[in-house]
Amino acid sequence: MTDDKDVLRDVWFGRIPTCFTLYQDEITEREAEPYYLLLPRVSYLTLVTDKVKKHFQKVMRQEDISEIWFEYEGTPLKWHYPIGLLFDLLASSSALPWNITVHFKSFPEKDLLHCPSKDVIEAHFMSCVKEADALKHKSQVINEMQKKDHKQLWMGLQNDRFDQFWAINRKLMEYPAEENGFRYIPFRIYQTTTERPFIQKLFRPVSTDGQLHTLGDLLKEVCPSAVAPEEMWFTWVMPKSDVLMIYLSYC
Amino acid sequence: MEEDEFFGEKTFQHYCAEFIKHSQKIGDGWEWRASKDCSDGYMCKTHFQVKNGTAVSHQGTSDHVQTFLPVEEALDAPLDDFEVTETTAAAEVIKYEYHVLYSCSYQVPVLYFRASFLDGRPLALKDIWEGVHECYKTRLLQGPWDTITQQEHPILGHPFFVLHPCKTSEFMTPVLKNSQKINRNVNYITSWLSIVGPAVGLNLPLSYATAASHDEGNVSGQDSSTERKSLEEH
A161, amino acid identity: R
Compute the distance between CA of residue A155 and CA of residue B195 in angstroms, rounded to an integer: 36
According to DSSP, residue B49 is labeled E
Residues of chain A in contact with residue B11, where contact means CB-CB under 8 angstroms, are none
Question: Which candidate from B37, B104, B157 shows the least CB-CB separation from A202?
Answer: B104
Q: Going by DSSP bridges, is the β-strand pair B148-152/B159-163 parallel, antiparallel, or unpaired?
A: antiparallel
Task: Give me the half-sphere count of Cα atoms (radius 13 Å) on the Cβ side of residue B77.
Answer: 18
Model pLDDT for residues B97-119, shown as the tens digit of each residue: 999 999 999 999 999 999 999 88
- pLDDT category at B5 given cuts 50, 70, 90 is low
Best CA proximity match to B41, nearest among B7, B9, B8, B15: B9
pTM over 0.90: no
Considering the domain A15-103, what is its CATH architecture? Roll (3.10)
Residue of B nearest to A115 (CA): B150
Model pLDDT for residues A214-227, shown as the tens digit of each residue: 888 888 888 877 65
Whether the pLDDT of residue B59 is over 70: the answer is no
Task: Match domain A118-172 to its CATH number in 1.20.1250.20, 2.30.110.10, 1.10.246.190, 1.20.1050.40.
Answer: 1.10.246.190
The pair phi, psi for residue A234, each rounded to 5°, is -120, 155
ipTM: 0.88
Best CA proximity match to B74, nearest among B61, B90, B87: B87
Judge: A113–B150 Cβ closer than 8 Å, yes or no.
yes
- pLDDT category at B162 given cuts 50, 70, 90 is very high
| Continuous H helices in chain A | 5-12, 45-48, 50-57, 83-90, 118-137, 140-144, 147-158, 162-172, 215-222, 241-249
Judge: A134–B105 Cβ closer than 8 Å, yes or no.
yes
According to DSSP, residue A106 is labeled S
Q: Which of A130-134, A194-198, A221-225 is predicted most confidently?
A: A130-134
The pair phi, psi for residue B156, each rounded to 5°, is -90, -25
* Residue B209 contacts residue B185 (beta carbons within 8 Å): no
Compute the distance between CA of residue B158 and CA of residue A117 in angstroms, rounded to an integer: 20
Whether the pLDDT of residue B217 is over 50: the answer is no
Under CATH, what is the fold of the domain A180-250?
A: Ubiquitin-like (UB roll) (3.10.20)
* Domains A15-103 and A180-250 are alike in CATH topology: yes
* Residue A131 contacts residue A125 (beta carbons within 8 Å): no
Specify the pLDDT at position B140. 57
> Can you give the residue ranges of every domain in chain A?
15-103, 118-172, 180-250
Judge: B125–A114 Cβ closer than 8 Å, yes or no.
yes
Residues of B involved in catalysis: 166
Specify the pLDDT at position B91. 56
Whether the pLDDT of residue A27 is over 70: the answer is yes
Element (H, E) at A60: none
Least reliable range by pLDDT among A89-93, A182-186, A231-235, B182-186: A231-235
The distance of B159 to chain A (nearest Cα, Å) reads 6
Judge: B146–A202 Cβ closer than 8 Å, yes or no.
no
Compute the distance between CA of residue A235 and CA of residue B195 in angstroms, rounded to an integer: 43
Least reliable range by pLDDT among A128-137, B11-20, B225-234: B225-234
